[in-house]
Structure formats: structure tokens, C-alpha cells
Copies of this chain bind each other. A is one copy, B any other.
Amino acid sequence: MASREAGFKKYAEGLEKVAANYGPLTPLSFLEMAAANFPARPACVYGDDRKTYAELYARARRLASALIKHGIEPGDTVALFAPNVPACLEAHYGVPMARAVLNPINIRRDAEAVAFILDHGEAKAIITDREFSPVVGPALERARVNPIVIDIDDPAVDGAGDLLGEFEYEAFLEEGDPDFAWLPPEDEWDPIALSYTSGTTGNPKGVVYHHRGIFVASTGQPLSWGMGYYPVYLWTLPMFHSYGWCFPYGITAKFGTHVMLRKIDSKDIFDLIANEGVTHMCGAPIVLNMIINSKPEERRDFPQTTQVMTAGSAPPPTVLEGMAKLGFEVIHAYGLTECSGCVTACFPKDDWSEKDTAAVAGEMARQGVRYATFQGLMVADPETMTPVPKDGEAIGEIMTKGHPVMRGYLKNPKATAEAFADGWFHTGDLAVWYDDGYIQVRDRSKDIIISGGENISSIEVEGLLYKHPDVLEAAVVSMPHARWEETPCAFVTLRDGAKTTEQDIVGFCRENMAHFKCPTRVVFGELPKTATGKVQKFQLRDLARNL
């Protein structure tokens, strides 16, 4: 291109990429940096076990070196099946430091799903926690692959479960070199991790992350979520979930402290917040509920205001008020496994201080605006790719693009191509867009109900059902209808002892909502859920079809 040649000619000579100014972007460099800057600062706290950054870095290098010694090669998959214990954090560094690919598996999955994942990811090794041997043992028997098995033998599990493999984790580390010259990726586009989606509609899909994307995504959390020096991060978010939203790297980039915990327990949470000075934590609304519903004797006072980021569903007003009273400040975020975690957050607005709690809660229920690390976000018609008007009414699909977006789904070029059609990542989430630029999720695209040509958000109907005093859980799906094509069908779990009838529920809905949106049928009982606790609506749709 002639004009490019002319303008750029003076930059042609002597300005090439060299070792001093060009290297692969990788989040692994944050650990090397933190250990060089602050060798003696606390990196990882687990009960009485406190490891400094020098120690964490040495252990990560030991792990990398031991894996290579035992035959792990660049590009090999190393699975991880563990709760939020130190070995879990160490694997997030040690495995990719061997140029291998970390595959953290959801510890709530069953043996069949785990076997599928081990086979699909072609696991060459697995680091597994003995507490979970009742699942991992059968999974290994069932799987076709035959990985090296490394058992985490945590004294805290007190002999529960079995050791499955030939290596115990600490002994395995002993074989490694604490000064191992770890291997940065040859190319920043190389895979760093593989994370399987929950698979609400069939076999889980393997999301492939790359070093460059995770580097940028890791800076996005401290950048967009306000953080001072040296955050203390409590691991109430499962690290296997959406790659721990990249906090394994983001907190290290801030020279912060990772506070680990094996189980979510409200007393432990309060004790750690008070004793360790926790400044930040994340969790699904269930974690917030547990905190609010804690017993007075489990609670502790603490001087700091702990920041809590929640995602998965919007925090209700009562939760926001309750959390504030207990010393927390909540922010609501939205993300996906495919996007390395958060895409948007409902960043606080200046006028919230002048509004009442209900009004603020209403605004906080929205998913908000884009993280600085994403290059695009829109709510658009997936057919025409035209953005919907910012009127808070028109529903479109959330689309995004940018550095933190996955490379694609492993061995699934069709699903990858569909997800990336027209230059955008299609989230599959339906939302409205407000005039202040904030978005609000209305539904998964496959969950929307189209009745007589009108869109009905299953989330909106569920939101109303949750306001009924007898409703513990609710899920709304589409049911075939002769005249309207589709109509809402509600599945409801009642609170213990409640006597509410189907007619009561329908009547409650008709009093509080446009009639075409109201469920025509209400079915009582338990709701089927995935390993991550999401309701399996495809099962409910099957049931509704046959009512």
C-alpha cells in the first residue's frame, strides 16, 4: 500500500521487536514480578499455612519442573479437580509454566461428566483432591485416557476419601526444581487453559483460553473494580468457575493476598474477613444469602468495608441492605466462561447517594457497562446485527468482542463459528439497553417465550413468582399452545409447609403482571439443576411439552 509505505518509511529501520521491548503477554509474569518485588509478602493463606510470594513462586516452578520430569509436554492437558486450596492456586501457575494447559474441572460434576471431560481434553495428568475420590475414582475408571494422577492429601479432610494415584502432591513438588527457569509461551496466542461450560443443553463445551487474553482479562478486574494497594482476596468464588474470573492472576498483579478456603461456611467467612482483613471477595447470590442468614454468634465485626462482586443473578434489595449493615459493599457484574469472566459491571452512579434504597436496588439489578478491556459491547438483533434502541424495552442479544474472549471451543469448529458469527461473540443472553448505556439481562435466548408474537422474559415472570411469600424457587419455560404457539409454564418449589395452589399462583401473577405474561400452568416440585447450580430448563421444557 503506497500511502502506508510513504508515511511509515521512517519507522522501517532500527525499530524492530527485540527482547527488551517485546515478549509474549502472559499472566504468569505477574507471579515472577510479585516474587521479585515482594518476596516476603503473604501470597497465599490457608488456615495456619501462610506462604510468601517467594514460596508460592518456588512451588509453582517446582510443579512445572516435576510435570516436565514426568513426561508432560508443551500443549498437554493437566486436569485439576480441587476446591480452593493452595495447590489449586499453584496449579494455575505451575501447569502453564511447563507450557501445559490447565483444565480446572467443576468439583460438583458427576463421574460420567468428569470422564467425558478427561477424554475430550485428552488429559495427560490430573491433580485431584482426596475428598473427591468418590467421583474422580470412577471417572478415571470410566475414561479412555490414562493420566498421571497426583493426589492432594490435605490434612484438613481428615482421612476422608482415598488416594487414587501414584503421586502425592507435596512429594511430587519435592521432585521439582524451585529455581526452574519456567517457560513463557512461544506465542502469546498459545493455550493456557481449558474450561468446560456447564452444558445446560448436552455435553459441556471446552473453552480454550490463551495467554494474551488472560493477561488482558487479569488486568481488567483490578482496573475496573476499584482496588487500592495490596488487596486481601477471599476465595469464596470457586476457582474452577470461569477461570476464577482471572483473580488467580489479577490479585497477584496487585501484590495482594489470596485467602483460600475449602468450603463455604458463614462462620469461616466472617472469621477470615476479620482476622485476615479481607478487602475483596466474589460469589454467587447464594454466598450473599449465606452471609445475611448467618447466626449472630457466627458474625464478627471488622473495621474495613469489604467489597463483594456478585454475578449470576441480580442482588435483591433486601440482600443489598442486609450486606451493607454487615459491613459489605456489593457490586453486580455479568460475565461468561467464554469471556474469561466479567464483561460488564453495574458500576456505581453518582446520583445513587440521592436516591432511596429501592430505586438504587432497581438500578443495581442491571448488568451495567463494559469493562475497559473489551473492545465492543452491544445489544443487537442477531439476524440483522442492528443495535436495539436504548429504551429499556426492546430486547436484543448481548454481543461482545475483545482481547479476553476465548479462542473458541475445543474440537468444535461449528459451535465456535456460530458463536463468532459476524465478527462478534454471541453471548446467547437477551437484554434491554437503557438510555444511560447500562444493559439488563432479560433471558437466555433459548429461554425466551414467544406468545402470540410477543416476547416474554422468563426471568421477569420468575422475578414476580419470587415475590410470592410461599415460593422458595421458581423457573418458567415455554409450553406449546394451540392458539398462541407458546405460553409460560411455571415450575415452583414451595417453602416447607406452604399450602398454596396452582390457582393461587396464577391469580397472584394476574394481579401483578400483564395477563399474556402469566403462567397458564404451575407445577410444584424440586427443580433439576446442573453441577454449577443452574436450573436445567431443557428438562423442564421436555416436561412442559408433555403436560
The residues of A with any CB-CB pair to B shorter than 8 Å are 3-4, 6-11, 13-23, 25, 29-30, 33, 36-40, 73-76, 99-100, 122, 186, 189-191, 208, 213, 216, 219, 222-224, 226-230, 253-255, 347-348, 350, 369-370, 372, 374-375, 377, 400-403, 405-413, 416-417, 419-420, 423-425, 436-437
B413 adjacent to A73 (CB under 8 Å): no
Which residue from B33, B208, B400 sits with its C-beta under 8 Å from A370? B33
B residues less than 8 Å from A100 (CB atoms)? 7
Asked whether, in the complex, the Cβ of B191 is within 8 Å of the Cβ of A11, the reply is: yes
Q: List 8 A-B contacts (CB under 8 A).
A: A7-B73, A11-B190, A14-B417, A20-B425, A25-B216, A33-B372, A223-B254, A229-B347
The CA-CA distance from A255 to B254 in the complex, in Å, is: 20
Q: Please judge, given known A-B contacts A38-B437, A223-B223, A436-B40, whether A213 and B21 are in contact too, CB under 8 Å.
A: yes
Chain B nearest Cβ from A40, distance in angstroms = 7
Partner of A412, one of B6, B14, B230, B347: B14
Given A10-B122, A17-B189, 4 other A-B residues pairs in contact with their CB atoms under 8 A: A7-B73, A14-B416, A15-B408, A33-B375
Smallest CB separation, A66 vs chain B (Å)? 17
- Contact of B73 with A14 in the complex, beta carbons under 8 Å: no
CB-based nearest B residue for A75: B7
Determine whether the beta carbon of B73 is less than 8 Å from that of A377: no
- Shortest CB-to-CB span from A71 to chain B, Å, is 11
Q: Which residues of B contact A419 (CB under 8 A)?
A: 20
Partner among B369, B401, B413 whose Cβ is within 8 Å of the Cβ of A23: B401
Residue of B nearest to A400 (CB): B20
- A221: nearest residue on chain B (CB-CB)? B223
Task: Give every chain B residue within 8 A of A14 (Cβ-Cβ).
Answer: 408-409, 411-413, 416-417
Q: How far is the CB of A243 from chain B (nearest CB, A)?
A: 15
CB neighbours of A229 from chain B (8 A): 226, 347-348
Point out the residues of chain B lying under 8 angstroms from A18, CB to CB. Answer: 420, 423
Q: Write out the residue numbers on chain B whose beta carbons fall within 8 Å of the beta carbon of A372.
A: 30, 33, 219, 253-254
Instruction: State in angstroms the CA–CA spacing of A329 and B350 once bound together.
Output: 24
Asked if A4 and B370 make an inter-chain contact with CB atoms under 8 angstroms apart, the answer reads: no
Docked CA distance A11–B408 (Å): 10
Most buried by B among A4, A21, A99, A423: A21
Cα(A122)–Cα(B75), bound, Å: 47
Whether A374 and B33, one on each chain, are in contact in the complex, defined by CB atoms closer than 8 angstroms, is yes
The answer to whether A401 and B20 touch (CB under 8 A), given A15-B208, A219-B223, A255-B347, is yes
Q: Closest CB-CB distance, A347 to chain B, in whole Å?
A: 6
Chain B residues with CB under 8 Å of A9's CB are 75
Query: How many Å lie between the Cα of A417 and that of B16 in the bound state?
Result: 10
Cα–Cα distance between A15 and B411 once the two chains are bound (Å): 9
C-alpha spacing A73/B186, complex, angstroms: 35
Residues of B within 8 A of A348 (CB): 229
**Which of B3, B74, B223, B425 is in CB contact (< 8 Å) with A222?**
B223
CB distance from A520 to the nearest CB of B (A): 39
Chain B residues contacting A425 (CB-CB under 8 Å) are: 20-21
Report the nearest B residue to A438, measured CB to CB.
B37
Docked Cα-Cα span, A423 to B347, in Å, equals: 42
- Which residues of B lie under 8 Å from residue A33 when comparing CB positions? 370, 372, 374-375
Which residues of B sit under 8 angstroms from A36, Cβ to Cβ? Answer: 369-370, 377, 437
Task: List B contacts of A406 (CB < 8 A).
Answer: 21
Give the distance to chain B from A210, nearest Cβ to Cβ, in Å. Answer: 8
With A222-B223, A410-B10 given, is the CB distance from A4 to B437 under 8 Å?
no
Assembled-state Cα–Cα distance A40/B208 (Å): 37
- A10–B228 CB distance below 8 A: no
**Residues in chain B near residue A402, CB distance under 8 A:** 21, 23
**10 smallest A-B Cβ distances: which pairs?**
A7-B75, A14-B413, A226-B228, A19-B423, A8-B75, A37-B369, A21-B405, A15-B407, A20-B420, A253-B372
- Give the chain B neighbours of A377 by CB distance below 8 A: 36
* Partner of A7 from B76, B230, B401, B408 at Cβ < 8 Å: B76
Rounded to whole Å, the gap between the CB of A148 and the closest CB of chain B is 15
A213 CB contacts on chain B under 8 angstroms? 21
How far apart are A475's CB and chain B's nearest CB, in angstroms?
A: 30
Picked from B38, B350, B437, the residue with its CB within 8 Å of the CB of A39 is B437
Residue from A7, A186, A347 with most neighbouring chain B CB atoms (10 Å): A7
In the docked arrangement, what's the CA distance between A153 and B369, Å? 37
Q: Which residue of B lies closest to A405 (CB)?
A: B21
